[in-house]
């Protein structure tokens, strides 16, 4: 694995003078370990599978217990990416279970490009995936870019709003209720 070199630019002001720019050389070998990059790649591949082939996502997720230890699994399923609004796998699941609701204000947008826009996972498979993520101790309280946990996402009225997912919602509420009981 080669070392990727990049330039970081620091902006600062010295005693009320013009901003000074200092450039610092860094490399990914210092900033990110190969192990971290490896798990980020798996996380990314799994987000793609969830969106493109949810059944394969579930099957692969089920095999994790034979492939990785508990901490590695948590690192994968709690990983976040820009394209999912920095959501973990539980939050990403809420974006794809049920059917996308097209509110009148969003129906006029021709170029719809956001995570889950073309994915409709049926509730039964969604619940299976949810159960597996909970079994692997997914972080229920991870907050995405918009400072929302999965329960808040599932009830929002934004562009990712879903319908025909009542059983999934009920199961998600049960998961949180059990967590509060413990």
pLDDT at res. 108: 59
* φ, ψ at 76 (rounded to 5°): -70, -50
**What whole-number distance in Å separates Cα of residue 36 and Cα of residue 50?**
21
Angle at 53 (CA atoms; ends 94, 113), nearest 5 degrees: 60
Q: How far apart are CA 88 and CA 76, in angstroms?
A: 9
Average pLDDT, the chain: 82
* pLDDT average, residue stretch 132-161: 94
Per-residue model confidence (pLDDT) at position 34: 75
Least confident of 15-24, 81-90, 168-177: 15-24
Condensed to tens digits (0 to 9), the pLDDT of residues 83-107 reads 999 999 999 999 999 999 876 566 6
Task: Say what the pLDDT of residue 180 is.
Answer: 58
Tell me, yes or no, if the pTM score tops 0.85: no
Cβ neighbours, 10 Å, residue 19: 8
Does 160 have pLDDT greater than 90? no
Q: Rounded distance, CA 131 to CA 91, Å?
A: 13
pLDDT digits (tens, 9 = 90+) for 136-149: 999 999 999 999 99
* pLDDT of the residue at 39: 80
Q: Which residue has the higher pLDDT, 157 or 80?
A: 80
User: In the chain, where are the structural domains located?
Assistant: 33-181
The predicted model gives 113-123 an average pLDDT of 91
pLDDT of residue 19: 43
């Amino acid at each position: 694995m080669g070392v990727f070199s990049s330039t970081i630019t620091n902006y600062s002001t010295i005693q009320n003078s013009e901003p000074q720019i200092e450039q610092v050389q860094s490399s990914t070998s210092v900033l990110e370990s190969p192990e971290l990059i490896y798990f980020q790649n798996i996380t990314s591949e799994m987000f793609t599978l969830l969106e493109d082939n949810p059944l394969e996502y579930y099957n692969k997720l089920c095999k994790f217990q034979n492939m990785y230890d508990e901490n590695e699994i948590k690192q994968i399923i709690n990983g976040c990416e820009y394209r999912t609004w920095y959501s973990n796998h539980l939050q990403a699941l809420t974006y794809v279970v049920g059917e996308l609701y097209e509110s009148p204000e969003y129906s006029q947008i021709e170029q719809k490009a956001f995570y889950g826009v073309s994915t409709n996972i049926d509730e039964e498979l969604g619940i299976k995936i949810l159960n597996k993520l909970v079994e692997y101790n997914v972080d229920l309280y991870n907050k995405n870019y918009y400072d929302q946990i999965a329960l808040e996402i599932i009830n929002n009225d934004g562009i990712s709003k879903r319908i025909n997912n009542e059983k999934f919602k009920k199961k998600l509420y049960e998961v949180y209720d059990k967590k509060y009981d413990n």
